[in-house]
Chain A
Amino acid sequence: MTSPVSSPIVLSRRQFMLRLAGGAATLTLWPSWAATPDADRARFVLVILRGGLDGLHVLPPLGDPDYARIRGKNALGSGDVDALKLDGAFGLHPALTGMHGLWKKNQLLVVPAVASPYRERSHFDAQDVLENGQARVNESADGWLNRATAALGPGTGGDQAIAVGSQVPLVLRGAAPVGTWSPSLLPLPNQDFLIRVAGLYHADPAMADALADARRINAVADTDAPVAKGVRPTIALAQAAARFLVEKNGPSVAVLDVSGWDSHSSQFSPKGGLTRNLGQLDAAMTALREGLGTAWSRTAVLVVTEFGRTVAVNGSNGTDHGTASAALVLGGAVRGGRVAGQWPGLKPGDLHENRDLRPTTDVRALAKGLLLDHLRIPEAALEKAVFPDSRSAPPMRGMVAV
């Protein structure tokens, strides 16, 4: 036997990850000769936090005595960890320092108890309802933001909206042309995924053993491996979105797809995954603001999740799937520095199904309010095409400076 000769076609692992990531995907950046940033047109950014964000932990109701009672040492402010103060009633998770700064500049509006019409607890179905813009699961194959983009009228020929961080999510699928972009290095399998995979292998000793070996070898402690040059993935997405949004004849709408919020266990640790994710989200919003430059004054960002989490803490020091969660509206165009929507309370009689925060604002009302007042989509189009059958959720007015 002759000795093996090294093949000319071996790629390194890093090159493999690059190949698989697909870099600039379907959208080419607009030519740089069109260098004058276009500050005038209104920009809208939708941030979808997939997994079910615990609204209580992001926007703690510091003024509600039941909060401290229910969350005990995990209650921000009164418990082990401090909170940033907003007004007398609400605080902000300490990792959200950038957003706290926006609050002080009246560029952050918080809405404490938001939900879609969906009342079950499946991630997929809840995300479907959140994105299809109608009251029921699988009601349409396109999303409300694509229908809204279409209602903006014909664009200048390029994509009018861009999805950053994934293939086109349902909310942006439809007739209006959209582009996609993903960062060029994908994260390694994260801790949350590996825990779930371990569950899959409970009846398969061979695969379970291999997984245990793999985790020991790779000792993944960090949920989010840094991308090139120490830039975290979510921040890279925000930077990319800003780049696309400022280009002359670029898109006016962007969607940031951020996963990792399904905090069933150990969610309260100051060094844990949820805290890190919130820090990265905050840094991403700062990066978005900085990237947009003068266009920030004409930008509104809506941050939503498919459902919230249980009010009570579970046996693994986390929370399970719930109903209402917090939503955030931020941007230079936003009339912020205040809380919108009603606080439902945390007494036993106030809860939804005796376990979740009760919704008092329909997420569609938030979206409609921004599309109407900020993107100037006519109300008739909103009611007929973008959010059909949503009379029960009238647009929340006054969120942006008109």
Chain B
Amino acid sequence: MNPAAILAVHRFGLGPAPGELVRAASDPRGWLVEQLSVQRSPEALKGLPDTGGSLKFLPRVLKNELSKEIEKKPGAKAKAAQQKKIGKSYRGLLQTHVEVESWGRFRAAAESRQPFHERLVRFWSNHFTVSGLKPTVLPLAGAYEREAIRANLSGSFADLLLACTHHPAMLYYLDNDRSVGPNSRMGQRRELGLNENLAREILELHTLGVDGGYTQEDVIAFARTLTGWGVDATAIESGNGGYKFLDAQHEPGPQTVLGRRYPGAGEQQAVNVLRELARHPSTARFIATKLARHFVADAPPASAVERLAKVFRETEGDLPSLHRAVVELPEAWATPGTKFRTPEEFLIGAQRLLSGRGGLTGGEELIAALNNLGQRSFLSPSPAGWPDEMGAWLSGDSLWKRLETISALAARARVDQPLKLAEEAFGDRLAASTRDILKGAESGAQGLALLLAAPEFNRR
């Protein structure tokens, strides 16, 4: 079996699904590159609500809807009971929504014949993280990933950056909806002020990086340009909610960011800044480092970073070119097994491996498993997203939880020949010692559990 195909499927993909190694065998690099062009929307995501539909799950919107259906009785006690009932219904509906979204997302990855593309969706989604830890974001996270990220991976980084910054999920998450220019119409009337959060995180986490060469003054100036980027609250109930430029909140006048002057131009002002940030050499380096870290090693080799940064600069951030450059990194093909699979990658890999003979069976189980493993669905801990280093995911406690999950999955899967499965999935990458241990397992279930616990399965 072609070792390059095995590496391609594990390191760049999501772990082998049936038949995948055969498909990748004749030209592993080609198999990866061709996934960059054909983008059918995954079947598993059909029927999920768009941003407008998801906005109807905002706490105040949905609770308002629910309260219309409740019989109003007078008195404080009755009112308290009503609120409790509304709260309970709201939580139930939100839970279902999140389960459906999580399951669709998981299935899309588990069933994908373009697993490299799925990896890239997740990489960029994590890079431009929005987190459901903020209640207004949780209902939107699924639609955000579909509309801002997934739909924008065949163009430029600048376009992706713009799409994410425009999306209500991002605007809510980083508080830009309440950022008001002090000299805007609303600012003058109500003494509301600037919120720097979005501007800072765009500079620190999305583009230049923390050492990319910006100052506090740049943050403030940039934040001013972003005022007015908000959400149309009036249209939400009708299902047409979404991004809207709110001129009344926008800080008028020119701003200087990173030494460049941007004349006052309403919404276009921040667009111009964002395009400049996308072209900045620090951005090229920052993105290159993150990509190399994600696909090659926790401490990415300088040569890989250099190569990717160069492609970024020379193509002005063309994402397909950049992604192809990742595939062409010799460093990525040299030493497999340097990266540790996150809980999500682990579960997707197991689902693909088991393909119908076991695995998770629905959103509720998925959420429970992700909770147990410490990577809660749509709930990344901060705007920096989920960490991309082994140290964050491998500890005594996290390994124990992973082994628990493995025991549970293996006990109810139907795999009689785990050694055969291992050989098909890993070929020569299966260590002789692992092979021996699998051979000596006392039952099919234990053998499968050992395979899922093996370093070969948990690293890529």
Contacts and interface: CB of A to CB of B under 8 A. Distances in A.
Interface residues of A, number: 59
B81 interface: no
Contact of B407 (A166, A187, A210): A187
A300 B104 CA distance: 48
Interface string B96-117: 0011000000000000000000
A259 B442 contact: yes
A128 B416 CA distance: 8
A85 to B, nearest CB: 31
Nearest to A201: B455
Interface stretch (B162-170, B285-293, B307-315, B392-400): B392-400
Interface stretch (A76-84, A188-196, A239-247, A355-363): A188-196
Interface in B40-54: none
Given A21-B408, A200-B434, A210-B395, A9 B133 contact: no
Interface stretch (A33-41, A213-221, A290-298): A213-221
B445 A186 contact: no
B408 A186 contact: yes
Contact of A10 (B175, B371, B414, B440): B371
B268 interface: no
Contacts of B443: 50-51, 123, 127, 259
A199 B437 contact: yes
Interface residues of B, number: 70
Nearest to B414: A167
Contacts of B404: 17, 188-189
A218 B399 CA distance: 11
Contacts, number: 163
Contacts of A20: 365, 368-369, 405, 408-409, 412
Contacts of A182: 411-412
Contacts of A199: 433, 437
B372 A13 contact: yes
Nearest to A218: B400
A51 B369 CA distance: 29
A104 interface: no
B400 A214 contact: yes
Given A22-B412, A187-B407, A5 B442 contact: no
Contact of A9 (B134, B361, B377, B446): B377
A2 B364 CA distance: 28
Contact of B364 (A19, A187, A261): A19
B7 to A, nearest CB: 18
B459 to A, nearest CB: 8
Given A124-B419, A193-B407, A2 B134 contact: yes
A207 B442 contact: no
A189 B407 contact: yes
A200 B447 CA distance: 12
Q: Which of A203, A204, A260 has the most CB of B within 10 A?
A: A204
Nearest to A141: B416
A276 B271 CA distance: 70
Given A5-B134, A21-B408, A193-B449, 8 more contacts: A9-B94, A9-B95, A11-B371, A19-B368, A50-B442, A124-B419, A200-B453, A218-B400
Interface of A: 1-2, 4-5, 7-11, 13, 15-17, 19-22, 50-52, 122-124, 127-128, 166-168, 170, 182, 186-189, 192-194, 196-197, 199-204, 206-207, 210-214, 216-218, 259-262
Q: Give the top 3 A-B pairs by smallest Cβ distance, nearest first.
A: A213-B396, A51-B442, A262-B442
